[in-house]
Structure 1
Amino acid sequence: MMKAIKALALLALAAAGGAPAVADMVQAPAAARRIAIVADAVRPRDARVPAEAKRSAYLLVYFKDETHSLYFATSRDGYSFTDVNGGQPIALGRDLADQKGIRDPYIMRGPDGAFYMAMTDLHIFAQREGLRATEWERPGDQYSWGNNRNMIFMKSWDLVHWTHAKVAISAEFPAFADAGCAWAPEVIWDAAKKAPMVYFTTRHGAGPNFMVYSHADPAFRRLTATPRQLLHHPDPKVNVLDADITRVGGKYRMFYVAHEKPGNIRQAVSTTLTSGYVPQPAKVDPETKAAEAPNLWHRHGTKTWVLMYDVFGITPNNMGFAETSDFKTFRNIGRFNEAGSRMKATNFERPKHGAVMAITPDEATKLEGWFGQKE
């Protein structure tokens, strides 16, 4: 009983913006196994980025169509992932989003030591589930499939306590007053600007999708400038979406989706973060079925990079994986729990549009402990 009272007191403190360090927290009671939304993200005195050599574990963020909610899974080897909350959401879409559902979560750690998370405010089954009377938030003939207004921005120092903001480019920037969507936001640190750069998919009305970027304020609650186009496809009528940018050596490697034949995932490379990306025509993923949502991550202690993607063209959907060391050849290593694949999802299934980030084993253990997965 005392532990439960102490846990509830700590949660109340977190809600007031006075989040304790994870090391000082007791395990949350079963009924409260969700991340805590706080008013402010106060930087701890000892905030730092662990050395790369120590970041040998992994955190996967993902969502599910069945719940339109947020999930975390951890891994010590980059092959076997275990959901930290026993396969249950760590945050409910209905609590985060105007549309009562979230999609496309992405997470990264900045050089300040903070964690930045962004996702789409969208529920594609809201009418079926009685959450709205219409198929989409706005008329489909004017704003097309899956139209939405908001992106969700969140910031944390400990992966448990997060600030929360809704960002609508149509309301903030006159040039995008007719924005038909704001999908799949991702974040990368812009060293030149000393700020988080947010890039995402949008469109004007029901026009073709394209990718834009802007920068966020230090609190990670708003964008500070009108978004600008990031990638220019040779055919402006082609839908381009789901960008994922990673700095590898002196180059920025963007993986993205182009709705052309063949479809699936392509690559563009630049020496500059915010410009100079040239679309390459070759499909890079090894899938024979439709895939989207590419995410690149490094396999610790090796020269190997893993390209992860959402294989939505199969039933049931699954995550697929390919490895590369030269970014020219991508070796298929299978899908989660597929026969012959080393990639395992131990206590969850049907993850969608996720992202993987390197963390330390100690950070993984603390996160698992909060959700009761480690005693």
Structure 2
Amino acid sequence: MKRIIILAMLAALILTDNVQAKSKKQPSEKDMAGYVMVYHKDADHGLHMAYSWDGYTWTAFNDDKPIMVGDTIAMQKGIRDPYIFRAPDGAFCVAMTDLHVFGKRDGVRTTEWERDGKKYDWGNNRGLVLLRSHDLIHWQRTNLDLSSLTCPTGEVDAEGNPLPWSEMGCAWAPEMITTEDGRIMMHFTTRFQRGRNHIRYVYMSDDFTHMTSNPQVLFTGPKDTEGHITKHVIDSDITLIDGIYHLFCTEHGHPRHAVSHSLTGPYTLVPFDDGVPQVHEAPMLWKLIGQQKWILMQDRYSMEPHNFYFCETTDLQNFTPIGYFDEPNCPLKRTNFSEQKHGAVVQVMKKELKRLIKYWQK
């Protein structure tokens, strides 16, 4: 009898835990008190993380050493382009490109690229690295190999023959957004063989471990009269503001801004000027807590040392340049890191950030 009671109590506890896990909700902006940024560095191809209480002064965790090293989590022994996002259930999701662009230099492979560069072009890779956590400390990991998909791609080679997913040239810069019906949509850059880069999207499982739909084309560069894409488009970022989806991306090094009333498009380009002639990539828009103000952060990849460039906007139409990290007139400052690349920011609650700071202080 005692054994039956104990088993019943254990079953009740498990049921309660499951109900609580399912009932967790995404907190609102009024619950937020600070920010966490993720980025990578060419020097180590690992995942880095920094924090800020006000959105302007940033400090790296772990003294700017990786919080997670790429050679333990990625098939190519290196990660790039990390993006952080809070899922509908309140968990944090991070998605990254599984790619080491200096693999030969660093001794993780004997060739410049994983596959033939003449056939698959620069930086070719096959998949993404996915992470999920409720505390930003303990993570579950999934390695997503897109080249193993068997669904049609809609891509053809120079002779017009259909190309399978095994012929993909890249899967870069994944980012996520919550759909109106509470699903996770992930969008990322793709290329087939040496074709043009463009953006595709896919829906993900609630636990962020697998795709629940086939990838579909979301956004491309301009097309000629025969329907061929004429320019590369990479690094998409999508934000919903007042019923309008704002898509930022990079077209041959230059920022583009497109809008739509539907998450899956079609998107229409609108005039956009970030105030500088230099080329940038990896645009990411994030909101300042409690303010009608957003910061657009971009990666100045042509700059030595690498740095981020920032604009502010209150209406998503006019963007005011505020400069690079640590410039004399720029309000954004770094206290202990440099040469960061391809960053992304998420709002966090006070207890979440205090717990994270305490953990890394140990």
- Whether the TM-score (by the shorter chain) exceeds 0.5 is yes
Distance in 1 (CA, whole Å) between partners of 2:93 and 2:102 is: 27
**Greater Cα radius of gyration, structure 1 or 2:** 2
| Identity over aligned pairs, percent | 41
CA drift at 1:173 = 3.3
1:233 aligns with 2:233: no
Does 1:104 find its partner at 2:73? Answer: no
The residue aligned with 2:196 is 208
Matches within 5 A, 1:356-375: 356-372=345-361
Residues 72-95 of structure 1: CA deviation (Å, up to 9, x unaligned):
111010000111212111000111
Q: Hey, what does 1:157 align to over in structure 2? A: 134
In structure 2, how many angstroms separate the alpha carbons of the residues matched to 1:153 and 1:300? 27
Residue 142 of structure 1 corresponds to which residue in structure 2?
119
Q: CA deviation at 1:158?
A: 1.1
Mapped partners of 1:286, 1:43: distance in 2: 48
Matches of 1:188 and 1:74 in 2, distance apart? 21
Residue aligned with 2:263, SS: coil
Q: Which residue of 2 aligns with 1:119?
A: 96
Corresponding residue for residue 177 of structure 1:
166
1:354 alignment partner in structure 2: 343
Write out per-residue CA displacement over residues 78-119 of structure 1, whole angstroms, 9 at most, x where no aligned residue: 000111212111000111101111000001112211111100
Aligned pair 1:219/2:207, yes or no? yes
Name the structure 2 match of 1:71. Answer: 48
Moved more, 179-188 or 234-243: 234-243
Determine the structure 1 residue equivalent to 2:266: 276
Deviation of the 1:174 alpha carbon: 3.9
- How many equivalent pairs are there? 328
SS in 1 for 2:62: coil
Matched residue SS, 1:142: helix
Post-superposition offset of 1:50: 2.9
Show the counterpart of 2:236: 243
Q: CA deviation at 1:365?
A: 1.0
DSSP 3-state at the match of 2:344: strand
Deviation at 1:206, TM superposition (A): 1.0
Confirm whether residue 52 of structure 1 aligns to residue 29 of structure 2.
Answer: yes
Q: Shift in Å at residue 279 of structure 1?
A: 2.8
Q: Answer yes or no: is the 8 Å Cα contact 1:264–1:285 preserved in 2.
A: no
Query: How far did 1:46 drift?
Result: 7.6
AA of the residue aligned to 2:304:
T
In 2, Cα distance between the equivalents of 1:338 and 1:148? Answer: 35
Compute the TM-score of the two structures, normalised by the length of structure 2: 0.87
Q: Take 1:251 and 1:311, find their aligned partners in 2: how far apart are those partners?
A: 27
Q: Which runs of 5+ in 1 are unaligned?
A: 1-40
Q: Deviations over 1:269-324 (max 9, x none)?
A: 001011221234x4432233211000000111211110001011211110111001
Paired residues of 2:39 and 2:341 also in contact (CA < 8 A): yes
Per-residue displacement from partner, 1:220-278 (whole Å, max 9, x unpaired)? Answer: 1121222110013322121001000001110000000011xxx4211000010112212
Q: What's 2:67 paired with? A: 90
Write the distance in 1 (CA, Å) between the matches of 2:184 and 2:78.
24
For structure 2, the residue ranges without an aligned partner over 5 or more in a row are: 1-17, 153-164, 224-228
**CA RMSD, Structure 1 to Structure 2 (Å):** 1.7
2:326 & 2:19 partners in 1: Cα distance?
Answer: 40
Aligned to 2:7: none
Greater mean alpha carbon deviation, residues 170-179 or residues 363-372: 170-179
Helix, strand or coil at the partner of 1:366: helix
Which amino acid letter does the alignment assign opposite residue 227 of structure 1?
Answer: P
4+ residue stretches of structure 1 with deviation over 4 A?
Answer: 41-46
Distance in 2 of aligned mates of 1:81 and 1:46: 33
Is the CA contact 1:120–1:152 (under 8 Å) kept in the aligned structure 2?
A: yes
- Secondary structure of 1:308's counterpart equals strand
Tell me, yes or no, if structure 1 residue 198 matches structure 2 residue 191: no
Pair 1:316–1:149, CA change in 2 (3 A): same
The one-letter code of the counterpart of 1:101 is G
Equivalent residue for 1:300? Answer: 289
State yes or no: 1:256 paired with 2:249. yes
Q: Please say if residues 187 and 201 of structure 2, whose CA atoms lie closer than 8 Å, have aligned partners that are also in contact.
A: yes
Counterparts of residues 4-23 of structure 1 (less than 5 Å): none
CA distance in 2, matches of 1:117, 1:284: 29
- In structure 2, do the counterparts of structure 1 residues 333 and 42 end up closer, same or farther at CA, with 3 Å as the change threshold? farther
Q: Which amino acid aligns with 1:269?
A: V
Looking at structure 2, the residues matched to 189 and 269 of structure 1 have their Cα atoms a distance apart, in angstroms, of 17
